[in-house]
Amino acid sequence: MKILVPTKRVPDPATNIQVLPDGSGIATENIKWVINPFDEIAIEEALRVKERLGSGEVVLAAIGQQSWQEQLRTGLAMGADRAILVLSESALDSLGIASVLAKIAADEQPDLVIMGKQAIDDDSNQVGQMLAEMLGWPQATFASKVEIKERRCTVVREVDGGLETLAFTLPGVITTDLRLNEPRYASLPGIMKARKKELKEVPAESLGVDLTPLLKVKELRAPSKRQAGRKVASAAELVSVLHSEAKLI
């Protein structure tokens, strides 16, 4: 079983994000870059599937700059077998990213793609679904449980009002939700081994995919800040202000 895991590099979720005064982006000095947390869950799940089956290959993919090697090495240290870094200096939109991944999938012929449901920087939640459509594959998004028997894949999904179970025959695309698993840390031997694993760099232009973005970010602005109010002394006072002042109860 070959599993493709697309990943993205994002600011650590604990980062205090500052929008640049000219609106061109966010301040990037002092940012710690990490693998998108949902993608880490995807890597973990792929490794678990491989471990359960006793054989297989986990291939990471990313579309970004040279510096993204660092996060791919972390994924390799967790246990992934090899990585592909598609180098692109320009900003791609979700359609562009999905097109590149579709090309990689066509070349690599994975049995399964597992990826994060959303990147915590642009919060778009689009690429997995787009990739599934481009490949003509089934999709199971927001997965909280994955079971694979032979070529049959059963996925429990977190949806409005409860949990939904979908099934499909491989190949397919799964996107991960928070409760699918808890990702492992890279071990020291893992980190040593990762240095020798294959990390192939491919220029995006060489793929023959149209990368012209149809979505352009024109400006970023900081949202208006909410002011802190006041403290109340007791539960009775709280209920009383909500009743007489805020007129809410």
Partner 1 sequence: MSEVLVFAEHKNGHLPKTTLVALGAGLELAAKYGTKCVAVVAGDGIEEVATRVAGYGVAAVVMLEHPALKNYVADAHAQALAALVKELGVQFVLASATAVGKDLMPRLAARLGAPMASEVVAFGDEGTLIRPTYAGNALATVELSGPVKVITVRSTAFEVAAPSENAAPVRKVDAAIDPSALKTELVSFEETKSERPQLTEARIVVSGGRGLKSGENFKTVLEPLVDAMGAAMGASRAAVDAGFVPNDLQVGQTGKVVAPELYVAVGISGAIQHLAGMKDSKVIVAINKDEEAPIFSVADFGLVADLFKAVPEMVEEVKKLKQS
Ligand X SMILES: Cc1cc2nc3c(=O)[nH]c(=O)nc-3n(C[C@H](O)[C@H](O)[C@H](O)COP(=O)(O)OP(=O)(O)OC[C@H]3O[C@@H](n4cnc5c(N)ncnc54)[C@H](O)[C@@H]3O)c2cc1C
* Binders in 30-59 for ligand X, by CB under 6 A: 37
Q: Does 6 engage in binding with ligand X (CB under 6 A)?
A: no
Q: What φ, ψ does residue 47 adopt, rounded to 5°? A: -65, -40
Between 6 and 37, whose beta carbon lies closer to ligand X? 37
In angstroms, the CA 95 to CA 18 distance is 27
Q: Does 120 engage in binding with ligand X (CB under 6 A)?
A: yes
Between 192 and 220, whose beta carbon lies closer to partner 1? 220
Between 188 and 246, whose beta carbon lies closer to partner 1? 246
- Using CB atoms within 10 A of its CB, is residue 35 exposed (0-12), middle (13-18) or buried (19+)? buried
Least distance from ligand X to the Cβ atom of residue 14, Å: 8
> Pick from 133, 55, 130, 60: which is nearest to 92 by CA?
130
Q: Does 128 engage in binding with ligand X (CB under 6 A)?
A: no
Q: 50-64: string of b/e by CB count within 10 Å (b at 16+)?
A: beeeeebbbbbbbbb
Least distance from ligand X to the Cβ atom of residue 13, Å: 4
Between 111 and 122, whose beta carbon lies closer to ligand X? 122
Q: Binding ligand X by CB under 6 A: which of 13, 23, 25, 203?
A: 13
188 is in the binding site of which of ligand X, partner 1, none (Cβ under 5 to 8 A by kind)? none
Least distance from ligand X to the Cβ atom of residue 116, Å: 9
Cα separations in angstroms, 124 against 62, 88, 107, 119, 193: 17, 20, 26, 7, 34
- Residues 73, 78, 81: CA angle, nearest 5 degrees: 70
In angstroms, the CA 24 to CA 66 distance is 22
Helix runs in 54-154, H state only: 69-78, 94-108, 127-135
Between 34 and 102, whose beta carbon lies closer to ligand X? 34
Between 192 and 217, whose beta carbon lies closer to partner 1? 217
Least distance from partner 1 to the Cβ atom of residue 218, Å: 5
124 is in the binding site of which of ligand X, partner 1, none (Cβ under 5 to 8 A by kind)? partner 1
110 contacts: CB under 8 Å, gap ≥ 6: 2, 3, 4, 59, 171
165 is in the binding site of which of partner 1, ligand X, none (Cβ under 5 to 8 A by kind)? partner 1
Give the CA radius of gyration of the chain: 21
132 is in the binding site of which of ligand X, partner 1, none (Cβ under 5 to 8 A by kind)? partner 1
User: Where does this chain bind ligand X (CB under 6 A)?
Assistant: 13, 37, 120
